[in-house]
């Protein structure tokens, strides 16, 4: 068993609920006490399980034998998914009363940026539950079965999605334009042209993502939020954000959010999760 420490506070109930609502059948299971998923890294594959121990400010990670050769890379991805590297003191001080009610909220990252890019596209204009169901269909259709683990699969690799015709994805229940966007992202990844790591200029990186077919501002920003785990992203045109900022235009909301720089991603989490909050 491996362990990782973190700086408190950390709201594990919220984090696991967030991931559980988005869990994709075949590659993830989430309970009130643990997160499990399949993973492939550098030709190695297997199952990992993450169990938080809040009293010790620590998480325990168990890996199947297939992932032991790449355990350092797995730990790095677990750190990213659960935002374990965050030292929250400065962020909480900066957000002030906005974060006071739920100081343990953390920014969920991802285990695989390519997977997160595909999931961001599949989440366009559909509910969280529908996005998870669509992703599960993609996994069942093109994800390799995980040897030794009946019922488990691996998320499809870029080369598996890059060769598809848009109509094949469209048949699963997504719009053709969304299918084309996924295939284009997969092909760019194979060519080394898709930004799987955070660029030096995140704002410019988002603008460049928006030039890709089927990638609008919301999708590009959400990918930056989770795929890059960028700390200063705000979504003024998000549906829930518009509800909190009722009576304000998108431009006014964006200007209001400047007060939370450079921690606007965390401010966004608190806005999303504080139904009674309204701008002062």
Which residues span the domain enclosing 37?
2-100
- For residues 58 and 16, membership in a common domain is answered with yes
Same domain, 206 and 165: yes
- pTM here? 0.95
59-112 confidence digits (pLDDT tens): 999 999 999 999 999 999 999 999 999 999 999 999 999 999 999 999 999 999
Q: What is the pLDDT of residue 53?
A: 98
Beta carbons within 10 angstroms of residue 210's beta carbon: 14
pLDDT tens track for 137-158: 999 999 999 999 999 999 999 9
Residue 162 and residue 166: Cα distance in Å, rounded? 10
**216 and 154 both lie in a single domain:** yes
Of 274 and 265, the one with more pLDDT: 265
29/85 same-domain check: yes
| 247 is a domain residue | no
Into how many domains does the chain fold?
2
Could you report the per-residue pLDDT of 190-240, keeping only the tens digit for each?
A: 999 999 999 999 999 999 999 999 999 999 999 999 999 999 999 998 989
Annotated active-site positions, please?
A: 238
Task: For residues 172 and 148, give the distance between their C-alpha atoms in angstroms, rounded to a whole number.
Answer: 27
Give Cβ neighbours of residue 228 (< 8 Å, ≥ 6 apart). 113, 195, 197, 198, 199, 202, 205
SS3 assignment for 104-121: CCCCCCCCCHHHHHHHHH
**For 177-195, what is each residue's pLDDT tens digit?**
999 999 999 999 999 999 9
Q: Is 143 left (phi over 0), alpha (psi -120 to 50) or beta?
A: beta
- Asked if 8 and 70 sit in the same domain, the reply is yes
DSSP 157: P
270 located within any domain:
no
Identify the CATH number of the domain in which residue 211 sits.
1.10.340.30
pLDDT tens digits, 252-261: 999 999 999 9
Token pair 């400065």 is found at 90
Give the integer Cα–Cα distance in Å for 243 and 101.
Answer: 19
Same domain, 206 and 135: yes
Extract long-range pairs of 161-164: CB within 8 Å, 24+ residues apart.
Answer: 161/118, 161/186, 162/186, 162/187, 162/189, 162/190
């Amino acid at each position: 068993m491996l362990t990782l420490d973190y700086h408190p506070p950390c709201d594990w109930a919220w984090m696991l609920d967030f991931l559980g609502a988005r869990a994709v059948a075949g590659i993830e299971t989430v309970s009130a006490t643990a997160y499990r998923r399949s993973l492939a890294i550098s030709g190695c594959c297997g199952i990992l399980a993450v169990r938080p121990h809040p009293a010790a400010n620590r998480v325990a990670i168990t890996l199947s034998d297939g992932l032991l050769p790449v355990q350092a890379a797995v730990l790095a991805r677990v750190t990213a998914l659960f935002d374990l590297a965050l030292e929250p003191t400065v962020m909480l001080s900066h957000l002030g009363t906005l974060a006071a009610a739920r100081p343990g909220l953390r920014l969920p990252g991802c285990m695989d940026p390519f997977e997160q890019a595909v999931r961001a596209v599949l989440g366009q204009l559909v509910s969280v539950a529908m996005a998870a169901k669509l992703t599960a269909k993609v996994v069942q259709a093109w994800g390799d079965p995980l040897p030794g683990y009946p019922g488990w699969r691996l998320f499809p690799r870029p080369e598996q999605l890059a060769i598809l015709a848009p109509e094949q994805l469209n048949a699963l229940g997504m719009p053709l334009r969304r299918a084309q966007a996924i295939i284009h992202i997969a092909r760019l990844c194979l060519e080394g042209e898709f930004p799987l790591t955070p660029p030096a200029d995140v704002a410019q990186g988002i603008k460049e993502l928006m030039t890709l077919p089927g990638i609008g501002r919301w999708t590009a920003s959400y990918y930056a939020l989770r795929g890059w785990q960028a700390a200063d992203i705000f979504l003024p045109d998000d549906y829930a954000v518009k509800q909190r900022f009722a009576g304000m235009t998108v431009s006014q909301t964006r200007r209001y959010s400047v007060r939370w720089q450079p921690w606007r991603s965390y401010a966004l989490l608190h806005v999303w999760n504080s139904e009674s909050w309204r701008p002062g």
